[in-house]
Amino acid sequence: MALLYAYQGLPAQQCIRLLRLLPSLDAAKPLEGHLFEYSLWDMYDQMVPYDALSYVWGDPNASHSIQIDGLAFPITASLNTALSYLRHSRRERIIWVDALCIDQNNEREKEHQISLMYQIYACSSCVVVWLGEERDGSDQAIKELYSLGTAAPTNGVLKNTASDYVMRLFQRAWFRRIWVLQEVGAARRIQIQCGNSQMDGCAFAIAINLLHQLPETTDGNETLQNTIRSIAYLIKGSIFRLPYKGPGAAAEGVCTFGELVDMFHDRQATIPHDKIFALLNMSSNDMSKSGLLPDYTIPIGELFQRLVRCIISPTLTVHSQNHQQVAVVKSRGYILGTIDKVMGDILENNTQRVSVKWNYDVIKWLEGVSSWDIETGIPWTIRASTTPIRKTDLVCLLDGALAPTIIRHHHDFAVIIIAAAPFPFNTEFSETIKISMSGWSQTSFPEHEFLLIWDWNYSPAAYSHWETCAVWARAHNWVFPKSMAVTNEDLYGTSAQHWASALICLDGHGMYRAAESFRGTFRIMKEILGQCGSDATLESHFQALLLRDHPLSTDEFLSILLYHAVESRCECLADLLVGQERFDLYDQSVGQRSILALASEAGFLKVVTWLIEKEQRCTFPRPNHIMHHKDSPEAQMHIARCVVEAAGAGHLAIVHQLLQKNTRDMESGIIREAEISLLYTSALFAASKAGHVAVIKRILQEGRYIDEALALPELASGKITALVEEQHFK
C-alpha cells in the first residue's frame, strides 16, 4: 500500500502553499509535483510568479492521485484532468490549487485560508479558468467567442449552430459555482481554457456582452443569462484593477456586501455556508465585525439570521431553520414607493434601471430632513438581482435599515426581492437616515407591520399557489416560534397579520389592487369567527383592529371596509362597522355594486336598516363615477333595484324595510310611481321564480302592480296566481 502525503502546519498567518507541477513530455504519465510554503508578505521582495486555478471539484470521490514529494495524494477526476492539461511539457508550472494547497481535513486551517483566498487570487500572475474537457462542440464555441471578442464592432449575427455550441458551454457547472465569483473578481489577468482551447478573459467577457444583443440569446433562459452576464462583469473588471498592494491593503470591493448577496445568492456551493463566506472579501464594507467571518461550526440557520441583521437591520425579528436557506422577518417600516417601470435589459456593468413612483409624503419628509431633491420618474440604477425586479414591486424602509428593501406582495406576507438597495441619492443622507427615522412616527404617512420571507430558492410561480403564510409554512415544514404569531394557532396574530398585509397593499398599490387583500382578510376573520362561535372578546379585537386610527383611516377607507365586509358575506364584521358616523358613501363608487345592493342580496338587515335610518346616499356604478343625491330619481331607482335583489334572495325583513322607505319617498313626491313600477314587478317575478311566498305577499300588500303581476305568464299559475288574485279582490 502506497504511503500517503501528510501536511505540515503552516508557520505564519500570511503563509500559503504552492504546487510546483513537474513537466512531462508524456501526456499519459502520472502527475508529479512538490508543495512548498510561500508568504504573501514576500510578494514584493521574493515574488514567486504563480497561477491560481479556478475550477469545479465535480465528483468528490478521489478516484485519481498525484505524487507529492514522492508520496501519493488522492485527487478527484476533475482536478486530475485539469492538471494534466495545464502541465507543461518541458518546464515546471507553479500553481495554487485549493484541493492541494489547503489541508481540507483541518477545519481551522480551512477557515483561515478561506479568509486569504482573495489575496491569493489577487497576487497571482494569472487566474486560469478551467471549464473542462472538449465536448459538445466547445472548441467551436471558443472560436466563435474569440471572433466576437477580438473583432472590431459590427452588427453581425452569430449562426444558429454556433449559438447552440456557445449556450452549451455556458451551461457548464463552472458558471454556477459561488467560489468562482471571488476567484475572477480578484484576478488581474484571466485565461479561459476548455480542453486545449484557450482565450483571454477580457475578450471572453466582451464576447458575452455582444452575445447578449443577438437574437439567438434574447429568448434564452433568463436565469442562465443573468448568471453569464454577472460573470462577464467580474471578468471584464480584471483589466481595470490596479496591481494588488498586498496584505493589509484597503478592501478593493466590487460593491456593498448586501448588493453582492442580492446578486449572487442563487449560485451553487457544496456547503451552504460558502454562499456567504465566498462573498466576504469582495465587499466594499468592512466585514471584520459582521459576525460572518468563516466559521463552519456555526449552524446555517444562525448564520442566516446574522446575515439578515447584518445587511438589512440589526433590530429585525428573524427566524430561520438549519435545513433551509430561508429567513422569515418581522419588522415595522414604511412604504417609500412602487416600482413603476423596469427599463430594458441588464446593462454591461450588471446594473438595471427602474423608475419608481415615490410616495409624495415620504419625498416631502426626506427633503425636509436632508435637503435631498429628487424628481419622481428619474431612473434608479441598482445592481441586477438574482430575482428580477417587476413592475408593482414595493420599495420599503425597515426599522433601523440604512438602505431600502424591495419586496413583492403575496397575500398576507411579502417576499424580499432585493434585501439592500442603496438609496438613489447622496451619501450624506444615507448616513443620517437612521437618525432621521426616529421622527417618522409623528409624520402623516403610515407605519406598517411587515411579515417578509427571504427565500434563496424563490419561484414566483410556486409562491402564487400559497394563499397564506400558514399554507407556505406547511409546504416548507416550517415551525414558527409563538412570538411571531403567524400561524392559525394564534387567532389574534393571524387576523392582525392579514390586516397589516392589506394595509401595505393599499398604501403601495391603491384601492383597486388592494381589494383582493381586503376580501382575503375578511374571509380569514369570518373563518376564525366560525371556528370560535360567538366570542365577544374576539369580536372586540376585530372591531378595534378595523377602526384603529392610522393615516390611511379616512372616511372613504371606512366605507371601503364596510363594502368588502358585506361583499365577503361577513355579517358579524359588517355589523361591527355600522354605526360609525365617519362613513362617507358620497365620494366614489367603491365597487361594481353598492353597499346597499350587496347587503340587500346578502340579507344583512342591520346594515340595510342603518343605511336607511341614516339616510345615507347610496353609491352605485355610473360611467363617470358621479354619485347622486339620496332624493334624486337615480337614487330611488337604485333602491327599487335593491328590492329586486332582496326579493330574489328571499330576505323578507329587508324587502319590508326598502318598501317602507320607498313608499315614504313616493308620498313625498320625490319620485313618480310610474318610474319604478317595472322594477317592483321584477321583484315579484324574482320572488316567484325562487318560490319565496312570504316575500310575494309582502310586495302585494302595497296594493300596487297587481294588474301588472297578473299579466305576467310566469306568475299566472298555481299557488302564486292564488296569492295575486287574493290580493286583487282585497
pLDDT of residue 215: 41
pLDDT of residue 221: 54
What backbone torsions phi and psi does residue 651 show, to the nearest 5 degrees? -90, 90
Between 502 and 718, whose confidence is greater?
Answer: 502
Average pLDDT estimate for 620-649: 63
Domain range for 19 is 15-240
Q: Which of 36-50, 417-431, 600-614 is the most confident on average?
A: 600-614
Tell me whether residue 246 is in a domain: no
Tell me whether residue 245 is in a domain: no
Residues across the chain: 730
pLDDT of residue 707: 64
Between 559 and 609, whose confidence is greater?
Answer: 609
pLDDT of residue 244: 80
Following DSSP, what letter does each residue of 407-428 receive, concatenated?
A: EEEETTEEEEEES----SS-HH
Return the closest-CA partner of residue 110 out of 2, 196, 17. Answer: 17
> Are 460 and 506 in a shared domain?
no
Tell me whether residue 247 is in a domain: no
> Are 325 and 468 in a shared domain?
yes
Pick the range with the lowest mean pLDDT from 23-27, 119-123, 498-502, 522-526.
Answer: 522-526
> Are 499 and 465 in a shared domain?
no
Whether pLDDT at 214 is above 50: no
Between 162 and 307, whose confidence is greater?
Answer: 307
pLDDT band at 717 (very low <50, low <70, confident <90, very high): low
Neighbours of 512 (CB within 10 A): 9
pLDDT (tens digit per residue) in 524-538: 777 777 777 666 676
Question: End-to-end distance of the chain based on CA atoms, in angstroms?
Answer: 117
pLDDT of residue 367: 53
pLDDT (tens digit per residue) in 563-614: 888 888 888 778 877 766 555 544 444 566 778 888 888 899 988 888 877 6
Report residue 451 CA to chain centroid gap: 12
Q: pTM for the full model?
A: 0.81
pLDDT band at 660 (very low <50, low <70, confident <90, very high): confident
CB 698 within 8 A of CB 658: no
pLDDT band at 490 (very low <50, low <70, confident <90, very high): low
All 3 cell numbers of residue 543? 372591531
pLDDT (tens digit per residue) in 276-304: 999 998 998 888 889 999 999 999 999 99
pLDDT of residue 595: 81
> Are 336 and 361 in a shared domain?
yes
Tell me whether residue 348 is in a domain: yes
Q: Which of 434, 449, 482 is the last residue of a domain?
A: 482
pLDDT of residue 160: 34
Look-up of cell digits 508550472: 93
> Are 332 and 352 in a shared domain?
yes
Amino acid identity of residue 478, one-letter, is W
Structural domains counted in the chain:
4
pLDDT (tens digit per residue) in 225-247: 778 888 998 999 898 888 887 66
For residue 231, is it left (φ>0), alpha (ψ between -120 and 50) or beta? alpha
Cβ-Cβ contacts under 8 Å for 429 (sequence gap 6 or more): 366, 369, 370, 372, 423
Report residue 714 CA to chain centroid gap: 56
Query: Which strand (E) or helix (H) includes residue 466?
Result: none
Whether pLDDT at 618 is above 60: no
CB 75 within 8 A of CB 255: no
> Are 472 and 614 in a shared domain?
no
Q: What is the mean pLDDT of the chain?
A: 80
191 forms beta bridges with 128, 200
> Are 477 and 370 in a shared domain?
yes
**CB-count burial class (<10 Å; 0-12, 13-18, 19+) for 314:** exposed
Cα separation, 208 vs 186, in Å, equals: 20
Between 351 and 651, whose confidence is greater?
Answer: 651
> Are 692 and 621 in a shared domain?
no
Whether pLDDT at 329 is above 90: yes
Whether pLDDT at 727 is above 70: no
Average pLDDT estimate for 463-478: 86
> Are 474 and 496 in a shared domain?
no
pLDDT of residue 280: 92
pLDDT of residue 558: 75
> Are 468 and 560 in a shared domain?
no
pLDDT band at 426 (very low <50, low <70, confident <90, very high): low
Whether pLDDT at 126 is above 90: yes
Pairing, β 190-194 against β 126-130 = parallel
Between 463 and 661, whose confidence is greater?
Answer: 463
pLDDT of residue 592: 66
Return the closest-CA partner of residue 649 out of 688, 687, 592, 608. Answer: 687
All 3 cell numbers of residue 66? 498525484
Average pLDDT estimate for 511-528: 78
Neighbours of 379 (CB within 10 A): 13
Whether pLDDT at 430 is above 70: no
pLDDT of residue 45: 57
pLDDT of residue 137: 93
Tell me whether residue 10 is in a domain: no
Whether pLDDT at 658 is above 90: no
What backbone torsions phi and psi does residue 481 show, to the nearest 5 degrees? -70, 150
pLDDT of residue 33: 96
Using a pLDDT cut of 90, give the percent of the chain over it: 35
> Are 653 and 570 in a shared domain?
no
75 forms beta bridges with 64
**Where does 298-370 have alpha helices with state H?**
300-311, 360-370
Whether pLDDT at 492 is above 80: no
pLDDT (tens digit per residue) in 157-183: 444 334 788 989 999 999 999 999 999
Tell me whether residue 6 is in a domain: no
Average pLDDT estimate for 176-196: 95
> Are 276 and 228 in a shared domain?
no
Using a pLDDT cut of 70, give the percent of the chain over it: 74
Query: Which strand (E) or helix (H) includes residue 449?
Result: strand 448-455
Q: Which of 20-24, 121-125, 146-150, 681-685 is the most confident on average?
A: 20-24
Cα separation, 323 vs 257, in Å, equals: 23
3-state helix, strand, coil in the chain (%, to 5): 45, 15, 40
